Amino acid sequence: MDVPRRDDEVEGADGTPVGRRAALGLLGLGAAGVVFGAGVQERIARLLAPIAARDPTGLTQLIPGAGGFRIYTVTGSLPNRSRAAWKLKVHGLVDHPFTIGYSELVEMEPTGITADFQCVTGWRVQDVRWKGVKLADLLERAGVQDAGSHLRLTSFDGAYTESLTLAQARRDDVLVAYEMLGKGVSSEHGGPVRLYVAPMYGYKSLKWLETIEVVDELIPGYWEERGYDVDGWVGRSNGRSDDPPEVHGS
Ligand SMILES: Nc1nc2c(c(=O)[nH]1)N[C@H]1C(S)=C(S)[C@@H](COP(=O)(O)O)O[C@H]1N2
Ligand SMILES: [Mo]
């Protein structure tokens, strides 16, 4: 799929730009008039390398590409919500709509998964540890009505959305995740709570999760409206990889 690319922007989800404002935010630069050209990721990495060496606390995660991950946000900014302020609303075609907070979520039965994380653009991070609650358990609590067939998920970034069929959502390897990489999901990785759809490309794993709505039709997500497969199975959809990652529970 062809997406226009501007020179002053950092590469995003599928080679599309993250946006200059986000890049400035990542760098902690507020300065107006900073112009990014080609090779910006390399220059950011070079610029931050000495700082990162002195500060192993997580700054390196903010360098695009560091640790294998790239930080994606389609809005051009990184939303931030504390655990205390975070709430997830489960509603739509359900008998018992509810809202759940962070502390209640982490008291539910946890599931751990270790698997490769793969973006449709080709980058992959091996053996990422995740922990969260099965999406199936939240749906069970809500009591999905017979008319429900799909989910529509939204993010508190105000823009990103995703879709799943109910069958996909009820898989054991689909989590509402509050831990990633062995610690709480960091803000830039979509914390305090994000979706994790282990068998599918990264775009299905919506960050900054805010609502889950049971609906009676497919409502394509953000990237799906822009040409990506709704069924984003690794190796079996219009991505680049042909070998699915290993998924094993833990
Ligand atoms: N809200 C939101 N969720 C998102 C995205 C995004 O831009 N916004 N990008 C998706 C894509 S394309 C990928 S590959 C992963 C990247 O996760 P990361 O930013 O933690 O590396 O997040 C997915 N979830
Ligand atoms: Mo992606």
Q: Is 196 in the pocket of ligand 1 (CB under 6 A)?
A: no
Q: Is 207 in the pocket of ligand 1 (CB under 6 A)?
A: yes
Judge contact between 163 and 220, C-beta under 8 A.
yes
**Cα angle 107, 113, 115; round to 5:** 150
pTM for this structure?
0.76
Q: Would you say the C-alpha torsion 71, 75, 78, 80 has a positive or negative sign?
A: negative
For 20, counting Cβ atoms within 10 Å of its Cβ (0-12 exposed, 13-18 middle, 19+ buried), the class is middle
Closest-CA residue, ligand 1 atom 19, reads: 71
DSSP state of 17: B
Site to substitute for ligand 1 among 3, 207, 223, most atoms within 8 A of C-beta: 207
The pLDDT assigned to 9 comes to 36
> Between the CA of residue 122 and those of 158, 172, 240, 241, what are the distances in Å?
26, 25, 6, 7
Q: Is 222 in the pocket of ligand 1 (CB under 6 A)?
A: no
> Between the CA of residue 214 and those of 71, 77, 225, what are the distances in Å?
28, 28, 19
Query: Mind listing the pLDDT tens digit for each residue in 80-121?
Result: 999 999 999 999 999 999 999 999 999 999 999 999 999 988
Average pLDDT, the chain: 80
Query: Nearest-CA neighbor of 133 among 98, 89, 173, 95?
Result: 173
Sheet strands (E) in the chain: 87-92, 98-101, 111-118, 124-134, 150-155, 161-165, 174-180, 183-184, 194-197, 209-215, 247-249
Closest-CA residue, ligand 1 atom 6, reads: 73
Query: Mind listing the pLDDT tens digit for each residue in 22-31?
Result: 444 444 333 3
More confident call, 29 vs 21 = 21
**Domain range summary for the chain, segments of one domain joined by +:** 9-62, 87-226
> What CATH number has the domain spanning 87-226?
3.90.420.10
More confident call, 218 vs 45 = 218
Six-digit token pair at 162? Answer: 């995703």
